[in-house]
A and B are shown apart, each in its own frame.
Chain A
């Protein structure tokens, strides 16, 4: 209380100040009374809703996921009926209902582009990026990339093995003729043995891919030199690694398995919270009752269904296992908010914000709860903090219809953590083999088979070294076995060159004969390689020791064949299954690439300058008995 003496001593300015305060307080009261209802009307009316009201609204909201897809489907139908305006409207509605759904955005951008508006390119680019790297699409894209890669490697292995087999099969035929007929390679009768050489190949090819590789790769490995061995081992190694350590692949594929834990957690956060989805979560919880991630997912699912009290119970159960879980704490507080217990909601949001002071959503939720209680100062401070932390509505938050606060969804790191720790190792062959019989062996056995093939090849390479099997003529490069190889003055020659060298009695005749023979071999090689290239583009170069053009051609051929065989991504979203049909974009691209490779190979064929490769001169092989020369020979040719 101010004494009278003191009042007297108060200066005039102070008195004026006090008078102003006295006047302003009633005015402020009147203002609040008048503006309060208006402000309350401007605020979301969520505070007045009861939990049952929320449940009604949620029923409409949680169908947005499916409704967006239905609208997109209707838009496609409208487009087929040639009604673009209706399609545009439906697509816009679909995008509004589910902004994360990329298909309507792509369709809309494509429509705009067709009508000549290039500005739609930006939207198309964004939609395409979401399609590949969007949060929910990332796992599918990655899994598709890995599966396509494995299919391409498989096709490449077949292509390479066929090319190398064409190169070494004549030598196998020669050895068989040598063994059966005794020097039979000199006679045309040896042709009759070709069915005996080809029949086992065709038999195992009819079994499937793995038996084919099991027969051909060791056979090639024994006869081939360094470069073909390197190509085969790299390709086989890429598959074997996935068989020996499938965990990374299994982690990627877990996101595309709807029954897996990471997929269930994600579906609970995104897909319509149907009773069926809840049932699947319950089934999983019965077997893993104390799984914290499942509890968190069920808590969010129940909240999305409007069952806030049950959700709170589940989340409390979860918090017993993970007391410092920010997501669960935030979501529990949001449940309290929707149940009308704002004080507990504030406490919960405060705790969540304290647990992770760098996360913006708890601060935003806290600000909304404060504002709900008309704690304007604290609310403004929290809102400011949330904005400073970069608050934005992202894919990781779930906002119930016109709700003031947001639920937190599992983050990408959570999904990857769950996928990595998923029990069981699903390798790519199992993922592919369930649909494709042509692997030739049960899908679960592909890995051991591949390991065995690689191991057997390396073992045979050590036990039967190439230098004991194959002798190369230093003049023409022809492969010769130990029965028919010739020697002249210490040089290893094929039978033909050896015979020539023995016949010549003068140096001039010797050099002339050998030079002409080498020239003939070169011409024959060019002819054979050209014919092989015309049948299998690039295979001639590949058979010539895997030169760069052959390797590139083989890689591109396998890519085009993969596109033609698959016709699109192997895995599609169950909600958006796509049937590319026979003339899908991927198949057309594959055919175009195939034609391009054929044209490029035809153009490059004229410039081929290969080594002195030719079939065994006494063999009846005419297609690709191509035999490599030695490095010194190449050096000599250069000099």
Chain B
């Protein structure tokens, strides 16, 4: 962008240095990072006021954070997704209005989410950044916060320092973690540690624990590391076992049954309909109606038409036509009509008297 305030590559100028600059200079504006982990950070007088730009689809750090660390159950997320899909409410509004969290809890969650966001951003080594000064870029920004950048930076730096050692110990998400002594007294432990220990009673692999711990990955790993050092949990590497989804299997079976039922009903009905369409008794009923007044009326009109044509022919030529078909060539009757009427009527001439008449050949049609 030609009028951008500050832009460049993260390889030259890291996010840490940029944030320090903004905080120090108490800048107001929007910092956009275009990298493998895209970020949008809004600042006001050096304070972080927004890190979620919901105008960019699929990039809501708060939602990702809450979903990644198992803050809410699947039903709650289904409900939140449903409300989001059918309304334009922001995630924070839905969470508070629907009573999922209260305002204080939401503040804490946003703080942790922002911390995670900055932490991930500071690990980026490649990409481009762009700082747009002013408030223009902040229009429509939802879920505003007010967080000091200094604190975020210090915590992020600490995490970057420690995360390497933690990942060495917890090298795979498939690592199996189990309680060393399930009957051990944990009342002296903190609430976070007790929640993790309770979680370990239900699930074993590290990945699942992290996904349900309701705190960031760094916090989970560091807590587990502390528990490991205290001898409360034991790490054990095991191969991943593929489990069959019983629910999905049931759903497939039911789907197959419905498919079969629907196909059978449709095929049978279509065959019946074809038979009904071709049903001979109905066709016979339709074709052989009683020789009512309508037929007599039609035949009387046809007869009158032939008589008129014969009279005109006779007057023109001074003789009678040999047959009804003979009326067609000169246009006294059109050829199709003459052909069809010729099958039903005849011109009968009394040679003795010279009188003529038009008579039906047989009874009424049908």
A residues adjacent to B (C-beta < 8 A): 63, 66-67, 69-70, 73, 177, 180-181, 184, 187, 189-190, 192-196, 199-200, 202-204, 206-208, 253, 256-260, 272, 274-276, 279, 424-426, 429-435, 437, 440-445, 500, 503-506, 508-509, 512-513, 516-517, 520, 571, 574-575, 577, 579
A512 touches B262 (CB 8 A): no
Q: Tell whether A199 pairs with B270 under 8 Å between CB atoms, given A190-B262, A443-B292.
A: yes
Contact present for A443 and B286 (CB under 8 Å): no
**A-side contacts of B312, CB under 8 Å:** 66, 69-70, 73, 575
Are A196 and B265 in touch, CB under 8 angstroms?
yes
B288 adjacent to chain A (CB < 8 Å): yes
By a CB distance below 8 angstroms, the chain A residues around B355 are 275-276, 279
Task: Say whether A256 contacts B301, CB under 8 Å.
Answer: yes
B314-330 contact mask (Cβ, 8 Å, vs A): 1 or 0: 01100000000000000
The stretch from B101-109, B212-220, B241-249, B302-310 touching chain A is B302-310
Known A-B contacts A258-B301, A577-B305; A193 and B266 likewise in contact (beta carbons under 8 Å) = yes
- Known contacts being A199-B272, A279-B357, A431-B297, is A516 close to B266, with CB within 8 Å? no
Q: How far is the CB of B58 from chain A (nearest CB, A)?
A: 21
For the residues of A in contact with B, the DSSP-based class is helix
The answer to whether B83 and A513 touch across the interface, beta carbons within 8 angstroms, is yes
| Contact count A vs B, C-beta below 8 Å | 177
Determine whether B203 belongs to the interface, using a CB cutoff of 8 Å to chain A.
no
Interface size, chain B (Cβ < 8 Å):
60
Q: Which of A424, A437, A512, A520 contacts B286 (CB 8 A)?
A: A437
A-B residue pairs, 6 tightest by C-beta: A442-B289, A430-B294, A199-B273, A258-B304, A192-B262, A196-B269
Q: In the complex, A279 Cα to B303 Cα: how many Å?
A: 14
**Cα–Cα distance between A434 and B365 once the two chains are bound (Å):** 10
- Does B7 sit at the interface, judged by CB under 8 A? no
A256 vs B294: C-alpha distance when bound (angstroms):
12
B229-259 toward A: CB 8 Å interface, digit per residue (1/0)? Answer: 0000000000000000000000000010011
Seen from chain B, the residues whose Cβ lies within 8 Å of a Cβ on chain A are 79, 82-83, 86-89, 94, 97-99, 255, 258-259, 261-263, 265-270, 272-274, 276-277, 282, 285-290, 292-298, 300-301, 303-305, 307-308, 311-312, 315-316, 333-334, 337, 355-358
Report the nearest A residue to B82, measured CB to CB: A503
User: Per a CB cutoff under 8 Å, which of A192, A272, A429, A432 touches B311?
Assistant: A272
A574 touching B270 in the complex, CB below 8 Å, given contacts A180-B265, A192-B263, A441-B285: no
| Cβ B307 vs Cβ A574 within 8 A | yes
Residues of A within 8 A of B268 (CB): 196
| Closest A residue by C-beta to B307 | A276
Contacts of A509 in B (CB 8 A): 83, 87, 89, 94, 97-98
State the CA gap A69–B83 with chains docked (Å). Answer: 82
| Distance between B300 CB and nearest chain A CB, rounded to angstroms | 4
- Out of B89, B290, B315, which one reaches A444, CB within 8 Å? B290
Cβ contacts under 8 Å, A512 to chain B:
86-89
B344 to A: closest C-beta gap in Å: 12
B269 pairs with A434, CB closer than 8 A: no
CA of A442 to CA of B297, assembled, Å: 15
Beyond A199-B269, A275-B355, A513-B83, whether A441 also contacts B262 by CB under 8 A is no
* Contact yes or no, B295 A200, CB < 8 A: no
Contacting pair A203 B277 (CB below 8 A): yes
> Could you say which residues of chain B place their CB within 8 Å of the CB of A429?
294
A253 to B82, CA, bound (A): 67
Q: Can you list 10 residue pairs at the A/B interface with Cβ under 8 Å?
A: A180-B261, A181-B258, A193-B266, A195-B266, A195-B267, A207-B286, A274-B311, A429-B294, A505-B98, A509-B83
Contacts of B300 in A (CB 8 A): 257-260
Q: Within the complex, which residue of A193, A260, A433 is in contact with B289, where a contact is CB–CB below 8 Å? A: A433
Tell me if A424 and B293 are in contact (CB < 8 A).
yes
Decide if B292 touches A444 in the complex (CB within 8 Å): yes
CB-defined contacts of A193 to chain B, threshold 8 Å: 262, 265-266
Closest to B78 in A: A503
Structural contact, A189 and B259, CB atoms closer than 8 A: yes
Residues of A within 8 A of B285 (CB): 441-442
If A194-B266, A432-B294 are given as contacts, then 14 extra A-B residue pairs at C-beta distance below 8 Å, sorted by A number, are A187-B255, A192-B262, A193-B266, A196-B266, A258-B303, A276-B358, A429-B294, A434-B295, A500-B82, A506-B97, A508-B97, A513-B83, A577-B305, A577-B333
Shortest CB-to-CB span from B348 to chain A, Å, is 11
Query: A192–B259 contact, CB under 8 A?
Result: yes
* In the complex, residue of chain A having the shortest beta-carbon distance to the beta carbon of B300: A259
Which residues from A are CB-within-8-Å of B86? 500, 512-513, 516-517, 520
**Given A66-B311, A258-B301, A513–B277 Cβ distance below 8 Å?**
no
Chain A residue numbers with a CB within 8 Å of B261 are: 180-181
Out of A275, A434, A437, A441, name the residue touching B294 (CB < 8 Å). Answer: A434
| B135, chain A: closest CB distance, angstroms | 28
Q: A181-B258, A430-B297 are in contact. Are A207 and B277 (CB under 8 A)?
A: yes
Q: Is there an interface contact between B304 and A506, defined as CB atoms closer than 8 Å?
A: no
In the complex, the answer to whether A203 meets B276 with C-beta atoms within 8 Å is: yes
Residues of B within 8 A of A203 (CB): 273-274, 276-277
A196-B265, A275-B355, A503-B82 in contact; A202/B97 too (CB < 8 A)? no
Distance of A264 from chain B, by nearest CB (Å):
10
A480 to B: closest C-beta gap in Å = 18
B residues near A445, Cβ cutoff 8 Å? 289
Task: For the complex formed, measure the closest distance between the CB of B99 and the CB atoms of chain A, giving whole angstroms.
Answer: 6
Decide if B316 touches A70 in the complex (CB within 8 Å): yes
Asked if B315 and A63 sit within 8 Å, CB to CB, the answer is yes
A504 touches B83 (CB 8 A): yes
